[in-house]
C-alpha cells in the first residue's frame, strides 16, 4: 500500500492540530517532525507517493492513528 502526498499532508495537519508547535521557537512536536521529514524527502525526490512499509515505525504508527481517527469521525 502506498502513502500519497495529499494523504500525508492531511495526516500532518491532523497532528499539527493535536500537537501544535511550542515555545517562542515554534518547535514542532515529535509527531509532526516525523511526518514532516517524510514529506520533505518526498518533495525533494519529486515523489507523489511512497510505499507505506518504507516509513519508519513511528511514522507508520502516526499515519495509522490518523487513518483510524479519520474513518471514525
Model confidence at 25: pLDDT above 90: no
CA quadruple 71, 59, 2, 17: dihedral positive or negative? positive
Looking at residue 73, its pLDDT comes to 62
Instruction: Report which DSSP code applies to 27.
Output: B
Tell me the three state secondary structure of residue 9.
helix
Looking at residue 4, its pLDDT comes to 96
Using 50, 70 and 90 to split pLDDT, how confident is the model at 47? very high
Amino acid at each position: 500500500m502506498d502513502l500519497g502526498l495529499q494523504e500525508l499532508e492531511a495526516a500532518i495537519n491532523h497532528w499539527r492540530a493535536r500537537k501544535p508547535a511550542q515555545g517562542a521557537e515554534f518547535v514542532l512536536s515529535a509527531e509532526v517532525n516525523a511526518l514532516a521529514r517524510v514529506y520533505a524527502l518526498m518533495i525533494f525526490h519529486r515523489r507523489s507517493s511512497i510505499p507505506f512499509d518504507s516509513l519508519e515505525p513511528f511514522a507508520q504508527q502516526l499515519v495509522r492513528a490518523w487513518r483510524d481517527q479519520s474513518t471514525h469521525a
